[in-house]
Structure 1
Amino acid sequence: MADIDARAAGSDRLDAAVLKVAAVVVLGAVMAILDSTVVNVALQALTLRFQTSFDTIQWVVTGYLLALATVIPVTGWACDRFGTKRLYLLSIGLFLLGSMLAGMAWSLPSLIAFRVVQGLGGGMLMPAGMTIMTKAAGPRRIGRVMAVLGVPMLLGPICGPILGGYLVDAVSWRWIFYINVPIGAVAFLLGLRLLPRDEPRPADRFDFAGMLMLSPGLALLIFGLSKLPQAGGVGSVGVWLPTVGGLALIIGFVVRAGRTANPLVDLKLFRDKTFRVAMITLSLFVVAFMGAMLVLPTYFLLVRGETALKAGLLLAPQGIGAMLTMPIGGRLADRIGPGKVVLPGLVLILAGASVFTRLGAHTAYPLLLAGLFVMGLGMGATMMPISAAALQTLTERSLARASTTVNIVQQTAGAVGSAFASIVLAGLLAGKFGVPTSQGQLAASALLMNPATHESAAEAAGDAFAWTFVWTLALAALCLVPAFLLPRKPAAPAAEPLPEPVAS
């Protein structure tokens, strides 16, 4: 009851009840996000262990992403129908089961199958957790709780390679999955005890037709985009066929959603100007952010010859910068409006990223680390305030569907960003070394490993990375346009009263 009283009084203090909920949700987010980045580091070890090709081993990642994309659209309806607490505990349970089974995998097909189980749980974790946190905090404190949730989202890509490199080198590849078990078990037990119980309520009739269009559509789109770097362009049937098919299904869903009473994803949310502007800003930001996150470690590994562990450590200043500004950014977004926080954050990102547009084979590490730190400062003040802006003006009834929509946008934009940066980098490397686009990174690796050609290859590869960052910097700059339209005032109270949680 104290939580509700504080909320009603407009207090921006995060009381003990909200912090307990945040701790449970952050544990789940840490588990899911760390898992994704840790597995990426282990792909080479898995290739050797199962004696297969890199194209085949990529299904360990692709299978997870496809399961993620398939289940996210149904999360909003499921939150309403079964209750967010039940759904959140179910998602943790599925993720735990998939992690244990993946660690015990006896063959590559079994590992891929168990990663799909992980993805089914992981896809529901973030939207369900975001719904729980925003309900607990209320509209006046969304910025602050979203800042808490943003910590694992920014630190995962940094800590994951460090942890993954250590586990693969010093222990066993199986432990990249087993490490989730203690984290998930603690999150499940704490969730059972601390999360407020919300009773299921009469939900709209489930949109089966919409699910059969949107879930496969997202999966096909993400699959096609994930094949783009490997194929070296859109001309490959393996790229354009699933991409076009996915887009056709998504467009069909959008057209149908405008004519049906209860679509799987409520597109009426986009009638809210703040939500619409925030989604455009978030899309552009995630495309640029995911591209940068992909390019940076590859530069340290490929051009500078660092180990996966050291590459992860070199990215740490970015996480430190984000940790410094994220709590401040969340508090300011609640007090003065997200627009006044996001714009300075974007300026910091542009300033830090500009350092990487002059990358070379021997760029001084202090300069690179300083650029990463400034980028981190900007990211801490940008990513989660944008998401908070999308939810601040919505009613409690809309939160579950809105959280699902935010996560769909993040996943799709992330796939676009990764594919965009990969294909730009591959094309630039291919141009430097006179090979087809699909062989750009392979050619660079071969020349960099040869002592006779290492120096010249490093200079050429460094220049390719620099121009890739020019493109990602341009995308980040585009975020400034919609960011100017984000709210510059504190959120208004919710249009409907928030129900009092029932103690579990």
Structure 2
Amino acid sequence: MTVNKVGERLTNSTRWAIAAMALAALMAVLNGTTVTASLEAMAPALDTTISGVVWITTVYLVAASASVPLIGWLTARIGSARVLQLALVGFALGSLLSGFAWDLPSMLVFRVLQGLAGGMLEPAALAVIGVLTPVSLMGRVMGFVSLVINLGPVVGPLLGGFLVSVGAWAWIFWMNVPLAVLVGIAAWRLLPSDEQRGDSGATVDVLGLLLLPPGFVLVLLGVNRWGAGAAPVIVGALVLAGVALLVAYVRHALRVEEPLVDIRLLRIPSFAAALGIMSVVGLVMYTQLAVLPILAERSLALAPIWQALPVAVLGSGLLVSMTLAGRFSDDIGPRILVRSGAAVTAVTALLIAFGHDRWPLGVVLGLVALLGLGFGAIASPTFASLYRVLPKASIAQGTAALFIMLQLFASTGVTVVGFLTEASANPASSAHFVIAGAAVIVTFAASLLPSRADDAAVAPASQPRT
């Protein structure tokens, strides 16, 4: 497609389109964090227990996981803009119905609908951004998008807590409706006409549909149930069945010309490295979000009203570094930024692990802010690099692969913190040792990223046929 740009500058319409897509991605993240923060308040309203209300998150996660692998095929079939609009309609309808749920079974049904659409919402929006953005501006744009998306983990718990405190938990869902309408209008008015169409003759990988989504869902559900304390035999059966289906899918995907998600994209070294690092990003991000409230309560002895403070401090560091690192990556490439950010993340995580229960509050919060600054310098350049090394025609496929890995490792991070909370006398220290170890791995993987911004632009020329 012809990108809306003048030289190396985005036109105003493209800027507004990218802003609308960033808002669509934020909606999906914000929904997850506000709902999670409000589950306890929903239990009496839905006449259920805490153990029952946890399924509100679980069924959404499973439904969202099932729809992510469809992004590539749907984009080829109906166009990226229509995939986004389909996701917006489903997400708005699911949100509206969830706010009217009268008991747990009705809520779970409505959350499945919302999850099927929500699973496509963020990756569809990012795929559109990847197509609209010139390679030379990818870092700046993805830095901005990362900044917007990462408002979700910071704002979500605060917003959810406020709505629950005023007895308005249904608005956690209903607020999505006007946002979806706003983004839908923007997509209809601002996206290029060729993004509104697809190829009606695009074939569907039927065997891939039978292997990849169920396999991914089973593995994710197994990890989720492990974190919830399910019997090992159940967890093992779910994970083994899922892994068997995924192995079968990989063998199938390497044999057909147009698989559901093209595994052959991993033959591009820079893409494989970026995907691996983003998997670590998912693990580290959600490990931090899960463990910081524990640190606030047990180590810092903060009052309940202040226990979200470490998360807000982390988010502040992330917002600054993601914006700046994304912009710098356009000029100097991602490798040095990611490696430096990983080093800062590893050292800071170790300092927090050793001193969080002995040092003054200001020192610990300063280290949390520094951890956010270092981690943001990993996430934003890698995120931009992933889209920079792919040809436009493969962006939807690459986005599907990205979100499969992000969801799997994000769930793993939350589960690890749950396990450490039960098994470790000091879960905050143990979790930060995990974060430090993951950051060390990133310092080595960063060597496979482009050393200069213009190196990435030539990578797609040798990429396999998709």
Residues 300 and 270 (structure 1 numbering): CA distance in 2 closer, same or farther, change over 3 Å? same
Report the Cα offset of residue 307 of structure 1: 5.9
Q: Does 1:485 align with 2:448?
A: yes
Which residue does the alignment assign to 1:168?
Answer: 164
- Is this contact kept in 1: 2:4–2:10, CA < 8 A? no
Q: Counterparts in 2 of 1:58-97, with a 5 A limit?
A: 58-97=54-93
In 2, the alpha carbon distance for the partners of 1:104 and 1:151 equals 32
- Is this contact kept in 1: 2:142–2:384, CA < 8 A? yes
In 2, the alpha carbon distance for the partners of 1:465 and 1:5 equals 47
Alignment equivalent of 1:116, drawn from 106, 112, 115? 112
Which residue does the alignment assign to 1:352?
Answer: 348
| Aligned AA (2:82) | R
In 1, the alpha carbon distance for the partners of 2:354 and 2:10 equals 43
Alignment equivalent of 2:203, drawn from 202, 205, 208? 205
- Is this contact kept in 2: 1:161–1:309, CA < 8 A? no
Which residue does the alignment assign to 1:34?
Answer: 30
- Is this contact kept in 2: 1:88–1:129, CA < 8 A? yes
C-alpha deviations, 1:369-390, integer Å up to 9, x for none?
A: 2112112212322213212222
Report the Cα offset of residue 105 of structure 1: 0.4
Which residue does the alignment assign to 1:23?
Answer: 19
Q: Counterparts in 2 of 1:130-141, with a 5 A limit?
A: 130-141=126-137
In 1, the alpha carbon distance for the partners of 2:303 and 2:234 equals 32
Which residue does the alignment assign to 1:370?
Answer: 366
Q: Counterparts in 2 of 1:372-451, with a 5 A limit?
A: 372-429=368-425
Report the Cα offset of residue 238 of structure 1: 2.6
Q: Counterparts in 2 of 1:114-263, with a 5 A limit?
A: 114-197=110-193, 198=195, 199-201=197-199, 204-231=202-229, 236-263=232-259
Residues 426 and 194 (structure 1 numbering): CA distance in 2 closer, same or farther, change over 3 Å? same
In 2, the alpha carbon distance for the partners of 1:174 and 1:479 equals 41
Stretch of structure 1 that moved more, 193-202 or 124-133: 193-202
| Aligned AA (1:210) | G
In 1, the alpha carbon distance for the partners of 2:227 and 2:5 equals 53
C-alpha deviations, 1:138-197, integer Å up to 9, x for none?
A: 222222221122123322111111111111112322121122222222212222222222
TM-score between both structures, scaled by the size of structure 2: 0.92
| Aligned AA (1:207) | D
Q: Does 1:475 align with 2:438?
A: yes
Structure 1 unaligned regions, length at least 5: 430-462, 497-504
C-alpha deviations, 1:265-305, integer Å up to 9, x for none?
A: 00110111111111122222321222121111233245556
Aligned-residue identity in percent? 30
Report the Cα offset of residue 242 of structure 1: 1.0
Q: Does 1:102 align with 2:136?
A: no
- Is this contact kept in 1: 2:294–2:428, CA < 8 A? no
Stretch of structure 1 that moved more, 373-382 or 406-415: 373-382
| Aligned AA (1:369) | L
- Is this contact kept in 2: 1:95–1:117, CA < 8 A? yes
In 2, the alpha carbon distance for the partners of 1:49 and 1:362 equals 41
Report the Cα offset of residue 40 of structure 1: 0.8
Residues 129 and 252 (structure 1 numbering): CA distance in 2 closer, same or farther, change over 3 Å? same
In 2, the alpha carbon distance for the partners of 1:243 and 1:40 equals 24
C-alpha deviations, 1:440-459, integer Å up to 9, x for none?
A: xxxxxxxxxxxxxxxxxxxx
Report the Cα offset of residue 493 of structure 1: 5.6
Partner SS state of residue 222, structure 2: helix
TM-score between both structures, scaled by the size of structure 1: 0.86
In 1, the alpha carbon distance for the partners of 2:433 and 2:204 equals 45
What value does the CA root-mean-square deviation take over the aligned residues? 2.2
| Aligned AA (1:349) | T
Report the Cα offset of residue 49 of structure 1: 2.7
Stretch of structure 1 that moved more, 179-188 or 407-416: 179-188
Q: Does 1:53 align with 2:49?
A: yes
Report the Cα offset of residue 357 of structure 1: 0.2
Residues 201 and 308 (structure 1 numbering): CA distance in 2 closer, same or farther, change over 3 Å? farther
In 2, the alpha carbon distance for the partners of 1:82 and 1:3 equals 19
- Is this contact kept in 2: 1:204–1:262, CA < 8 A? no
Report the Cα offset of residue 91 of structure 1: 0.5
Partner SS state of residue 370, structure 1: helix
Alignment equivalent of 1:341, drawn from 313, 330, 337? 337
In 2, the alpha carbon distance for the partners of 1:88 and 1:210 equals 22
In 1, the alpha carbon distance for the partners of 2:280 and 2:3 equals 35
Structure 2 unaligned regions, length at least 5: 462-466
In 2, the alpha carbon distance for the partners of 1:172 and 1:185 equals 21
Stretch of structure 1 that moved more, 265-274 or 479-488: 479-488
Which residue does the alignment assign to 2:293?
Answer: 297
- Is this contact kept in 1: 2:342–2:378, CA < 8 A? yes
Report the Cα offset of residue 470 of structure 1: 1.5
| Aligned AA (1:190) | A
* Count of aligned residue pairs for this structure pair: 457
In 2, the alpha carbon distance for the partners of 1:473 and 1:54 equals 33
In 2, the alpha carbon distance for the partners of 1:76 and 1:284 equals 23
C-alpha deviations, 1:458-499, integer Å up to 9, x for none?
A: xxxxx3322232122212222111012211111326868xxx
In 2, the alpha carbon distance for the partners of 1:194 and 1:48 equals 44
- Is this contact kept in 2: 1:159–1:312, CA < 8 A? no
